[in-house]
Chain A
Amino acid sequence: MATPTVPADSYSDTGPSLADYTSVLLQTYVEILEKSSTAQVLDLGPVCEENIIYFARRVKRFHVCDMFLRLNRNKRESLPNRGVWKHLDYASHSFDGINLWDFIDHLNDDQISRLVGLCHTLLKPRGMMIITSFEEQPAPSPINSFVIQDNYRLSFRLQNHLELPWYYRSNRALTHMLSAFPSVKSFLYRNGIREFLCRRD
């Protein structure tokens, strides 16, 4: 798929960096989830203690399926990634929210299509998916977890044990890939991080 490039300079004052930032979309996302006493949320990793505690104290049940480690294991053992999706073997309409912290940057187009389709199936009607993505590959480009701090602030923690490929996509390409979702809110931060909040119909 063609991925038209949008000049990063149009949107950000500085290049991509790992500066902390306060997430408007995380606030929106969490406030909606907190209104439900039965909310269930799925996080696809990387495993992060702070985020687990944060969500587990706010929703009925917080699920973790660390896909980063699974992809990393496949890469290390030169295994195809086809089978990696079997780990997302949850029932349809299971979740009110799905967290994708920088996950899509490490998937090719086919894998993203598969993932978006799966997430659409796993979400309940009106369920949401929060996605973060780097506008450019940060240099150096190790994988970091997005660590939730107070007041919807996100910081980064290096995940040295993970090594996955990185793919750039323009904003237009990303929103096109999320077209299964009728509502997509998006934000770009000064540190070059893009956030998307998708909602199922």
Chain B
Amino acid sequence: MLKKGKKPDDDKGFAFDRTTEQKTLKPIPSPQTSAEKTVIGENISIEGNIRGDEHLIIEGSMKGNIQMEKHNFAVGSKGRVEGEINAQSVRISGQMMGNVKTKGKVEITKEADFMGDIRAKSISVEDGAYFKGSIELEREPHRKTASTGESSAIKTSQPIHEPKAPTNKVADKEN
């Protein structure tokens, strides 16, 4: 089932790859001034690539790549997606297998079951999310790590192997 929702004014419409278009969905013309998003309902399966110019939510199953660099993509809690995602921002609440690339944020909720690599500007992950993969975020410039925390740590800890002689140094194991 396709549901139409609000869409930002600058969105221009929706385009599927030809294979997908023929199999399952008709492109829905939308006036440039309307605001909408598309929801792929839980009883819909799609095989093929999607290129879109409006926000997309998958609640059904989808196998293929998704390209929508200027719009948001979400896998709903009942959604199952296998493919590469390139979107403005990505939210994963269902099952997703594949790599995610975004210039914005990736959100992984606690219901998510995600396997893949993420390249993003920022990320949020809820405790309980099932996650196997890697994350590449913009790195912080190298810092001198002189930390004010060091002195307090030393006061509250001691090497396990030298319990009677507190020292500022950690204990190396003797082999």
List chain A positions with a Cβ less than 8 A from chain B: 10-11, 21-25, 27-28, 30-31, 34-35, 40, 46-49, 52-53, 56-66, 69, 87, 145, 150-153, 157, 159, 161, 171, 175, 178-179, 182-190, 194, 197
Known contacts: A62-B134, A186-B173, A187-B159. The answer to whether A47 contacts B127 by CB under 8 A is yes
Chain B contact patch, size range: 35 or more
The answer to whether A27 touches B173, judged by C-beta atoms less than 8 angstroms apart, is no
Q: Are A53 and B137 in contact (CB under 8 A)?
A: yes
B133 at interface by CB-CB < 8 Å: yes
**Interface readout for B120-156 with A: 1 if CB under 8 Å, 0 if not?**
0011111111111111111110110101111011101
Q: B171 contacts the other chain (Cβ, under 8 Å)?
A: yes
Given the known interface contacts A27-B147, A30-B145, A34-B142, the answer about A187 and B170 at a Cβ–Cβ threshold of 8 Å is yes
B23 to chain A, nearest CB (A): 34
A21-B156, A157-B127, A188-B159 known; A151 and B172 CB under 8 Å? Answer: no
A56 to B148 alpha-carbon distance, docked (Å): 22
Q: Would you give the shortest CB distance from B14 to chain A, in whole angstroms?
A: 32
Any A CB within 8 A of the CB of B163: yes
Contact pick for A23, options B130, B145, B148, B153, CB 8 Å: B153
Instruction: Tell me which residues across on chain B come within 8 A of A27, comparing CB atoms.
Output: 145, 147, 149-150, 153
A175 lies within 8 A of B173 (CB):
yes
Task: Write out the residue numbers on chain B whose beta carbons fall within 8 Å of the beta carbon of A11.
Answer: 158, 160, 163
- A153 and B138 alpha carbons, distance in the complex (Å): 23
Taking CB atoms, residues of chain A closer than 8 Å to B148 are: 151
A145-B153 contact given A56-B136, A57-B138, CB 8 Å threshold: no
CB–CB B132/A65 < 8 A: yes
> Do B170 and A197 have beta carbons less than 8 Å apart?
yes
Note all chain B residues with C-beta closer than 8 A to A187. 157-160, 170-171
| Further contacts, 14 of them, CB under 8 A, given A63-B134, A182-B175 | A22-B153, A24-B157, A27-B149, A34-B142, A49-B124, A49-B125, A53-B123, A60-B139, A63-B133, A66-B130, A69-B128, A178-B173, A183-B172, A186-B161
Partner of B170, one of A25, A53, A159: A25
B110: chain A residues within 8 A (beta carbon): 161
Q: Is the CB of A152 within 8 A of B147?
A: yes
Which residue among A11, A56, A175, A188 has the maximum number of chain B CB atoms within 10 Å of its CB? A56
The answer to whether A64 and B135 touch across the interface, beta carbons within 8 angstroms, is yes
**A188 contacts B158, CB within 8 Å?**
yes
User: Are B172's CB and A22's CB within 8 A?
Assistant: no
**Least Cβ distance of B77 to chain A in Å?**
16
Partner of B152, one of A22, A28, A59: A22
* Closest residue on chain A to residue B124 by CB atoms: A49
Smallest Cβ-Cβ distance to A162: which chain B residue: B128
> Are B172 and A64 in contact (CB-based, < 8 A)?
no
Query: Given the complex, which residues of B lie within 8 Å of A56, measured CB to CB?
Result: 123, 135-137
Q: List the A residue with the shortest CB-CB distance to B175.
A: A182
Indicate which residue in A22, A145, A186 contacts B159 across the interface (CB closer than 8 Å). Answer: A186
Within 8 A of A (CB), among B8-58: none
A189's contact among B131, B142, B157, B173, by CB below 8 Å, is which?
Answer: B157
**Residues B136 and A190 in contact, CB atoms below 8 Å apart:** no
Chain A nearest CB, measured from B156 CB (Å): 5
Beta-carbon contacts under 8 Å, B84-123 to A: 110, 122-123
6 interchain pairs, CB-CB under 8 A: A22-B150, A25-B170, A47-B127, A47-B131, A52-B123, A57-B138
Residues of B within 8 A of A157 (CB): 127
